[in-house]
Amino acid sequence: MKLFSYWTDNREPRIGIEVDGINYNFTQLFEFYKDIKGIYTVGQMFFLQMMVELDFFNKDDITEVIQTVKELRRLDDLRILSPIQFDVPISRPQKILCAGRNYLLHARESGNEAPTEPIFFAKMSSSMIPHQGRILLPDGVGRVDHEVELAVVISRQGHHIPEDRADEYIAGYTILNDVTARELQKKDMETKKPWLRSKSFDTFCPVGPYLVPSTVIPDVQNLEMILTVNGEIRQRSNTSQMIFPVRQLISYYSKFMTLEPGDIIATGTPEGISALHKGDIVRCQIEGIGTLENYVD
């Protein structure tokens, strides 16, 4: 079960769902479900973020919608047959928080040791692009790197979240490529400036294409991660190698700020970062979640 935001040929927003390899129009499915159940207080679902904010993005509720409709009609006419024009799964996160140096070998390849507590920084939401969007290399900034990461989408408001309850605040998981202007980042670090500008150029946050409900993933700390550039493997690791696991990151970050529905937490990248060049095709793959592909211009 994988959900996604997409655009129709008429540039109308919709929610899609992949079930057993078939893509369906979930926005229309939900309309049929509301009619069957006599629900008239909920509007149309056009974006995944609406589902998250309404606390409807969970495996049980989504399954109920599909099964209820299937009992009364066939779903064939709800298949998405044309090529999918993906949108970002979460279109207006209040915050994009990113874990720094959360894989030991990546910390070391950058000349650092493992942190003793989580490091975090932010990316601006204006840097987001969808699956098959184009990463634009800015002029004059030098080397730009890829960084494949597991991303967590927060389900509900939380502050001072206990680590043993962090799962209750996870809507689902997606893939994020933390594209970084590396030379600019190093310059800012040397002059004791924050990392924000090197991380937040337009197009420096490819994310998607799917958002997978958290309970669909049996063990988020045991997922294979692979990034390829033009078919060549550059990064390959497993989420088991995180220094600070997902639950600990959520608990730690919530000590300093209130987490809101739709917030995105990128959980760090493994070793193998390398430079991107115009003409490259970058594919980020995480087991059970999908493949995020982007072109470099």
- Are residues 149 and 78 part of one domain? no
How many domains in the chain?
2
Give 86-132 pLDDT, tens digit per residue. 999 999 999 999 999 999 989 898 888 889 999 999 999 999 999 99
CA distances (Å), origin 163, targets 98, 250, 254: 18, 7, 10
The Cα–Cα gap between 282 and 33 comes to: 38
Cα separation of the two ends of the chain: 32
Query: pLDDT tens digit string along 192-204?
Result: 999 899 999 999 9
- Tell whether 39 and 67 lie within a shared domain: yes
pTM for the full predicted model: 0.97
Q: Within a domain: residue 91?
A: no
Instruction: State pLDDT tens for residues 41-82.
Output: 888 999 999 999 999 999 999 999 999 999 999 999 999 988
Whole domain around residue 233: which residue ranges? Answer: 96-296
Identify the burial level of 231 via C-beta atoms within 10 angstroms of its C-beta, where 0-12 means exposed, 13-18 middle and 19 or more buried.
Answer: exposed
The residue out of 86, 117, 137 marking a domain boundary is: 86
The answer to whether 4 and 196 have CB atoms below 8 angstroms apart is no
2-18: buried (b, 16+ CB within 10 Å) or exposed (e) per residue?
bbbbbeeeeeebbbbbb
Instruction: Verify that 181 and 216 share a domain, yes or no.
Output: yes
Looking at the structure, tell me whether residues 147 and 263 fall in a common domain.
yes
Stronger pLDDT, 107 or 2, i.e. the higher one: 2
Residue 143 confidence class, pLDDT cut points 50, 70, 90 = very high
> Do 40 and 154 share a domain, yes or no?
no
Q: Are residues 170 and 63 in the same domain?
A: no
In this predicted structure, what is the pLDDT of residue 182? 97
Specify whether 178 is located in the same domain as 278. Answer: yes
Q: Does 263 reside within a domain?
A: yes
Torsional sign, CA 213, 218, 223, 229? negative
Question: What is the rounded distance in angstroms from the CA atom of residue 113 to the CA atom of residue 23?
Answer: 44
Q: What is the pLDDT of residue 112?
A: 85
Q: Do residue 15 and residue 101 come from a single domain?
A: no
Q: How far apart are CA 217 and CA 198, in angstroms?
A: 32
- Residue 280 is part of a domain; what is its CATH number? 3.90.850.10
Boundary-marking domain end, from 68, 86, 104: 86
58 plus 101 within the same structural domain: no
> Does 28 lie in the same domain as 127?
no
